[in-house]
């Protein structure tokens, strides 16, 4: 924490204290209060990324700190600020938000560190989900029965079904992504096998409709239940990560580990899309492969 203590958050402009929970932009390295990052849902200096901005201890509009004589071993990133600078906790930061802001209740909810029956807190789940916190914050509350006292398993997410299995790999659910890949390849495989068993090499319109309905049904199921599956995956992963932080389960390092482990991977999404394209090409080539004796 010594590197960030008394540095300035680019959103609220308040300095970080020793107890602050911080999210660091993976592109430019700028630290944010976790709540501030959740409000923006992105780096506050994202517009400067294309210009190659890299955080080196202060914000672009932050004045140069007064130069004072320091020991040769002093931290070069440590800036000195007036002693009367107030220390602010995450709870105080939430209190400073506009009371008429409709997101106040939501932000307080995702910052809740109370451990539920699933063994994790909303704060841990929010850190693990890393992005789309507004969407997943509402989904997690629904699954945990925090809205109406009833635990639900349904929360609509179009991306989970429309972009499957790339979306599942994007969210680092690799094993489930492989399962989705296999299931989504099945309707096409059934069409190809049916055409191979037909002397004309074609399948009837009725069979084609049935196969299309099956494929659509798979996508709809993923749209409806995909977030709940991701929730169960997140809970399981959080328990595993916490094992490595038994003596500091509320530290900034722990929450950063959750963030780094759970943040989406575009590389995995691309691999998932390529795997789907490869499986489809392989299935379509199946008649030729079997016909050639391969």
pLDDT at 80 (0 to 100) = 46
Choose between 278 and 252: higher pLDDT.
278
Cβ neighbourhood burial of 173 (10 Å; 0-12, 13-18, 19+): buried
50 DSSP assignment: G
Check whether 83 has a pLDDT greater than 90. no
Tell me how far apart the alpha carbons of residues 165 and 146 are, in angstroms, rounded to a whole number. Answer: 30
33 DSSP assignment: E
Q: Which domains can be identified in the chain, with CATH numbers? A: 1-65 (3.30.40), 156-294 (no CATH)
- Which of the listed ranges 21-25, 149-153, 180-184 does the model predict with the highest average pLDDT? 180-184
Give the global pTM.
0.66
Tell me how far apart the alpha carbons of residues 198 and 30 are, in angstroms, rounded to a whole number. Answer: 62
pLDDT at 82 (0 to 100) = 44
Q: How far is CA 95 from CA 92, 106, 138, in A?
A: 5, 13, 21
CB neighbourhood size of 142 (10 A)? 20
Tell me how far apart the alpha carbons of residues 79 and 71 are, in angstroms, rounded to a whole number. Answer: 13
Tell me how far apart the alpha carbons of residues 129 and 63 are, in angstroms, rounded to a whole number. Answer: 35
Q: How far is CA 204 from CA 123, 156, 196, 198, in A?
A: 53, 34, 12, 10
Residue 202 binned pLDDT confidence (cut-offs 50, 70, 90): low
pLDDT at 78 (0 to 100) = 47
Check whether 86 has a pLDDT greater than 50. no
What's the rounded mean pLDDT across residues 180-184?
A: 94
pLDDT at 79 (0 to 100) = 47
Tell me how far apart the alpha carbons of residues 211 and 199 are, in angstroms, rounded to a whole number. Answer: 20
Question: Which residues are 31's β-sheet partners?
Answer: 24
Query: For the chain, what is the mean pLDDT?
Result: 81
Q: Look at phi and psi of residue 61 and say left if phi exceeds 0, alpha if psi is from -120 to 50, else beta.
A: alpha
Choose between 152 and 101: higher pLDDT.
152
> Which residues touch 184 (CB under 8 Å, ≥6 apart)?
164, 165, 215, 218, 276
């Amino acid at each position: 924490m010594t590197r960030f203590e008394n540095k300035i958050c680019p959103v609220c402009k308040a300095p970080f204290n020793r107890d602050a929970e911080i999210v660091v932009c993976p592109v430019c390295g700028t630290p944010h209060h976790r709540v501030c990052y959740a409000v923006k849902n992105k780096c506050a200096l994202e517009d400067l990324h294309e210009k190659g901005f890299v955080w080196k201890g202060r914000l672009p509009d932050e004045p140069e700190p007064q130069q004072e004589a320091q020991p040769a071993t002093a931290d070069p990133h440590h800036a000195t600020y007036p002693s009367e600078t107030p220390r602010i906790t995450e709870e105080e930061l939430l209190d400073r938000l506009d009371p008429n802001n409709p997101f106040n209740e939501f932000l307080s909810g995702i910052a809740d560190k109370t451990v539920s029956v699933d063994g994790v807190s909303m704060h841990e789940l929010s850190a693990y989900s890393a992005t789309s916190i507004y969407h997943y914050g509402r989904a997690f509350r629904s699954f945990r029965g925090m809205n109406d006292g009833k635990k639900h398993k349904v929360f609509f997410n179009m991306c989970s079904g429309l972009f499957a299995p790339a979306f599942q790999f994007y969210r680092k659910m690799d094993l489930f992504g492989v399962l989705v890949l296999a299931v989504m390849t099945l309707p096409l495989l059934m069409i190809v096998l049916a055409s191979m068993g037909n002397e004309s090499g074609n399948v009837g319109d009725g069979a084609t409709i049935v196969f299309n309905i099956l494929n659509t049904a798979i996508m709809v199921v993923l749209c409806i239940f995909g977030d709940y599956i991701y929730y169960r995956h997140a809970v399981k992963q959080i328990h595993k990560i916490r094992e490595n932080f038994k003596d500091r389960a509320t530290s900034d390092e722990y929450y950063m580990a959750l963030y780094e482990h759970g943040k989406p991977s575009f590389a995995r999404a691309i691999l998932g899309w390529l795997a789907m394209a490869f499986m489809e090409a392989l299935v379509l080539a199946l008649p030729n492969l079997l016909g050639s004796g391969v």
